[in-house]
Structure formats: structure tokens, C-alpha cells
Amino acid sequence: MSHSNGVASRQDVLRVRDLSTRFFTDEGQVNAVESVSFDVRDGEILGIVGESGSGKSVTALSLIDLVESPGRVTSGQLWYRNADLAEEFSDAADGEFVDLRALPTRVRRALRGPSFSMVFQDPMSSFNPSIPVGEQIAEAVEVQRRARANPRSTRSRTQGYGLGRYLLDSVVPTLDYTDDESHERAVELLEQVGIPDPEQRAREYPHQFSGGMLQRAMIAQALAGEPDVLIADEPTTALDVTIQAQILNLLRDIQEERDMSVLMITHDLGVIARMCDRVCVMYAGEVVERGTLEDVFDRPTHPYTEGLLGSIPDLDDPAPRLQPIEGNVPSLLDSEMGDRCYFADRCPKAMTECLQHPPEYEAEGSAEHRARCVLADHPYDEREALPPDYFEAGRPAETGPVDGGTDDDRPAEEAQQND
């Protein structure tokens, strides 16, 4: 784990503080992300790991303001280091940092691409099926090119591209939005992510690509705006095992080459172990443990983390999966969450004091190791243990949806299917 050396000396590029995202569904309020805090540093890979429904994907979407109705980011700050913005929006600034949530929507959206970019889980559904792949990447390049030419105007990026222009485009294909320069850049990007014969492939449609190749193309697309932070949401889950390693290597090479920050979201501890410098473990919408890779893997403090790690005999094993921990994923419905440790019903070491929601404690290890568990503060006391059937007797609150093995990370949908 040589790449984690010297991490502490690096500067933060993004500080997430007390981020909460809720979904307001017919069944009630779902607390998908609950008061989450973490930092992303220059040139590092930060991992967020958790089961499906733990809120890790919603966290990622909250960062780039892509949470859709009925969901909404309800509180928290997202401090992003950007001197220019901090100067322009001094009200929302703190030194070099500016709170993204306090920026106007227009400005915030303009950060997608040059500041943040995202690689999604399923490349096949993340490309528009009826537009050639190269054209879609060129489009991303073009948007950023126009934005640079006229940084503060949304109009220049749209350049009157409305209904009329669309209709014209569909009749006269040459009147396209992108120009040759952007196309050349798109081909270049495809080449950089290791796609052979990029000129030819740029003209092909998504359905003509294999999953692995398409994921490479999506990475190329995400690089189009030269982002500071690349968010990779389960980038290998939909792929063949043999391809997974290639994509991970590619991500790593690109990250080192450009010295950008990567936020790696996955349920796969193997991916975390081989890629990340620091880790956040999420459970029921909360970060339950965070620290350096060594902190979390060698000195896990939270029983949930321990449970996860229990299944991995060897950290170099390329594809260990999360160990199925007994019990159900919690429903995240506000009305059913209660005020206890959310993991208590599945925790083998639950004690009476765990019926109070625990704060984040400093934990043994590096200076930044934290765990949201009383065990970080004092050792297990068997006399205080809750009886094993405590949560079964007449407490219907814990009947969340059974994890169907999907990686659908949207509690809102799960809650809706849950009637």
C-alpha cells in the first residue's frame, strides 16, 4: 500500500460536512444520506464502501446536484477549493473554499465537467443509444470549450440550441452542435483510454461496443472536461470479472497521470483494497467508519466493518464480495429509524447504551481514524449486552426490503416497492 504514503500532507479539494439527503415518498420520508462528513484530497483515491441501499450512490449524486425528485439535499455544506469562485462569491466562501450549496444553480451546474465528473455503473444505459459514441464525447468536449471561451454565460454553451435547432439538425445532419476540433479531441481521449482504432470506433453506436470498451469510452467522456474530482460509481460492477481489473488499472493510471482526485464508490472491498488511499464505510445512510486504508482494514473498530472484512481471507484476492451479514438492510424510512445505533439489530456486540445514537469517536490508529460506535470509546461489556431476541419481539420496525442482489442504490424506489 505504498500509494497511501504522504496522504496526510496533501490538501483537501472537497470537504463534505453534515450532508443529508432525503426522499419524500408516498410511504414517508426516507433518510438516504444522514449527516455525512468526509474530505477528498488532491491526487488521492477515496473509497466509499457499503451494501446497496447504504446511501453511497445518493451521496455521490448529491455532490454534483443530480438527486432527482422526490429526493432533495436537505442540509450540510460542500466546501470546494476554488480561489476564483471564492473571490466571486465571497458570501459563500471560507478562505479558498466555497460552499457549493450556496452557489446559484447555474454556476453549480457549470462545474459539472471541469470540476466534477462521473463514471456510472452501467455503461450501456449511460450512453444515448442513438448517437455515435464519439459524437457524445465530442459533445462533452464542446460544452467545456464553449464554457472556457465565455466562462460566465450559460447561453454560449447552448448557443441557441433549442427546439428549432433540433428540428433543423434532424433534417440537415451537418448542422451539428459539435465541430471538428472537438471530434479530434474525442478521438484522442478514446485513444488515451486504450481503445484500439479510435477513429473508427468514434463513429460507432453504443450497441456496437462491448461492455468493457464502452466503460473505457465513458471514462474518456468523463475526462473531457479535465475534472478535479472524478466520481466513479461502481465502475466495474456491470462488467465481466476479467475486464474489471483492466478498468481499475486504467482508472489508476489516469488518476496518477493527471494527478486528479477520484471518489471510488463500490460495494467491493477488493476494489477498495487495491485502489484506495483512504476509505469511508457507509451503513444506513451514515459514514460509520473512516480512516486510512490501514486504519479500516487492519484495525476495524465498528462491528459492521469487522463483519465486512470477515469474508476476506487475503487482501490481494481480486474479487472478494461483501460478506452477507445476518439481518436485513434497514428501511431508512424516517418513521422506522428510531434513535438508536442503526446497526444495533444486526450487531453481535449491541449493548444497552447502543439504544442511544452514538456520535463519531476517534479510534485507534492514524489521526483521522473515526468510528460511529461506542466500542471506539470503551471496550465491550458483556453485562450490558442486549438480549439476542431484543429486536425480534414485537418490533416490526426492522422489516426492510430484502437485498435482491441488485446494486440499485436508491432507497426511494425500494421504499416504493415495499408496500
Rounded Cα–Cα distance for residues 125 and 119 (Å) = 12
Does 231 engage in binding with ligand SF4 (CB under 6 A)?
no
Query: What Cα–Cα distance (Å) separates residue 79 from each residue in 92, 104, 155, 418?
Result: 9, 14, 27, 36
Rounded Cα–Cα distance for residues 224 and 211 (Å) = 20
Rounded Cα–Cα distance for residues 127 and 198 (Å) = 17
CB of 264 to other proteins, least distance (A): 16
Considering only 103, 279, 375, 412, the residue that binds ligand SF4 (CB under 6 A) is 375
Rounded Cα–Cα distance for residues 64 and 80 (Å) = 11
Does 296 engage in binding with ligand SF4 (CB under 6 A)?
no
Q: Which does 239 bind (CB under 5 to 8 A by kind): ligand SF4, other proteins, none?
A: none
Considering only 271, 293, 347, 415, the residue that binds ligand SF4 (CB under 6 A) is 347
Rounded Cα–Cα distance for residues 142 and 330 (Å) = 44
Q: Which does 354 bind (CB under 5 to 8 A by kind): other proteins, ligand SF4, none?
A: ligand SF4
- Angle 401-406-412 from CA coordinates, rounded to 5°: 50
Task: Using the minimum distance from each CB to other proteins, give the nearer residue, 223 or 308.
Answer: 223
Q: Which does 399 bind (CB under 5 to 8 A by kind): ligand SF4, other proteins, none?
A: none
Q: Using CB under 8 A as the criterion, what x/- string covers residues 66-85 for binding other proteins?
A: x-x-----------------
Number of residues counted as binding other proteins (CB under 8 A): 46
Beta bridge partners of 29: 24
Question: Is the Cα dihedral 377, 380, 384, 388 positive or negative?
Answer: positive
Interacting positions 94-113 with other proteins (CB under 8 A): 109-110, 112-113
Considering only 183, 349, 370, 410, the residue that binds ligand SF4 (CB under 6 A) is 349
Strand order in the sheet with 261-266: 116-119, 229-233, 261-266, 45-49, 278-283, 286-292, 370-371, 361-362
CB of 20 to ligand SF4, least distance (A): 20
Interacting positions 24-43 with ligand SF4 (CB under 6 A): none
Radius of gyration for the alpha carbons in the chain, expressed in angstroms and rounded: 22
CB of 204 to other proteins, least distance (A): 9
Interacting positions 111-170 with other proteins (CB under 8 A): 112-114, 116-118, 120, 122, 125-131, 136, 139-140, 143-144, 147, 154, 157-158, 161-163, 165-166, 169-170
Beta bridge partners of 374: none
Does 330 engage in binding with ligand SF4 (CB under 6 A)?
no
Q: Strand, helix or coil at 97? A: strand
Question: Is the Cα dihedral 79, 60, 182, 185 positive or negative?
Answer: positive
Rounded Cα–Cα distance for residues 149 and 225 (Å) = 13
Task: Using the minimum distance from each CB to other proteins, give the nearer residue, 63 or 281.
Answer: 63
Rounded Cα–Cα distance for residues 256 and 275 (Å) = 11
Element at 15 (helix H, strand E): strand 12-25
CB of 17 to ligand SF4, least distance (A): 22
- What are the residues binding ligand SF4 (CB under 6 A)? 302-303, 341, 343-344, 347, 349-351, 354, 358, 373-375
- Which residues here bind other proteins, judged by CB under 8 A? 26, 64, 66, 68, 109-110, 112-114, 116-118, 120, 122, 125-131, 136, 139-140, 143-144, 147, 154, 157-158, 161-163, 165-166, 169-170, 177, 205, 207, 218, 221-222, 224-225, 419
